[in-house]
Structure 1
C-alpha cells in the first residue's frame, strides 16, 4: 500500500527448470514469498534451451540468472551485468533489466586499464556500492558445488565449477 499498490500487482517470473540446482523449486518459493507482500508472480519455468533465447529477447518481467565470472575478476560481471548496454562496444550484453548508471559506465574503462591493485580495488568497491544501493540485482541463492570421487581418482576442482580434464588422473 505504501508503494502505491494497495491491491498488489501481477507480473511474470521466468526461470529455467534444468540449469541450476533446484532452480524451479527456488522460483516457486520466491513466488510464494512475493505473494505474501501482494505481488502475484505468474511462474513460467522452462528448459534452459528455451530460456536463454526468451531472456535475450527481453520477454521476461522478472527472471532468475546465475553468474560466475570465467575470468575470476570482478571486472567481468561489471562489464556484462551492470554496464549500460552498448552492442558496438560489447558492453552490458547480459544487462537484461536495462540498468544504466553513468558513474558505473565511467568507472569500467578506468578499472580495465588500472594496474595498481589498490586503486583498481577501490573502483571495483565503488561500483559494488552503487549497484548495491541501486538494488540492481537481488542475490537469492549461492549454488553449492557438490563433487564425489573414488579413492583411485585424483582431481583438482576449480571454484567456478568448471571441470578441467587435464587436472584429473586415474590410478
Structure 2
C-alpha cells in the first residue's frame, strides 16, 4: 500500500494551495506536514512543473537562517565542493542512509524515553548512562565513516598517521 501524496499548487503570486483541503496554506504549514511525515508534491499551478525541491530548500534556508542552524560553514563548503565531482552521484545515497540511521536511532531513543521500553522503567538502573554511551559510540562510528567517505572522495585530505 503506497502512501498518498498531498498535492500543493503554487500560484504566480507565491501562494500555496492545498488540494486536499481546498484552501491556501503557508510555507509553515508545509513544514509541519513534513514534520508529520506527510508526503507532499508542490507543482506550479500554471505549468505543472514540480517545485517540491524548491519549496523544501526554502524551508531549509529559513530554518538555517534561524537561531540554531544544523549546517555550519565547513559543512556547507564541503557540500559545494561535491557539485560537479564524479562522487556527487554516490553522495546522495550516502547522506540518505546516514539520515535514515540517525532517524532510526532517534526513534528508538524517543520510544525508550517515553516509557515504551523497560529500559528506563527503573530509576536506579544505569539506562541513561548506557544510552549516552551507545549514542557516543554511534556518533564516533558515523564520524569515522563520514571522514573516510570525504577523504576517499578527495574533498578532505587524508590524515598522515605514522
TM over 0.5: no
Higher strand share: 1
**Relative contact order, higher structure (CA 8 A, sep 6+):** 1
Q: Structure 1 or 2: larger helix share? A: 2
> Given the two structures, how large is their TM-score scaled by the length of structure 1?
0.27
Q: Scaled by the length of structure 2, what TM-score is found? A: 0.28
Which protein is bigger by CA-based radius of gyration?
A: 2
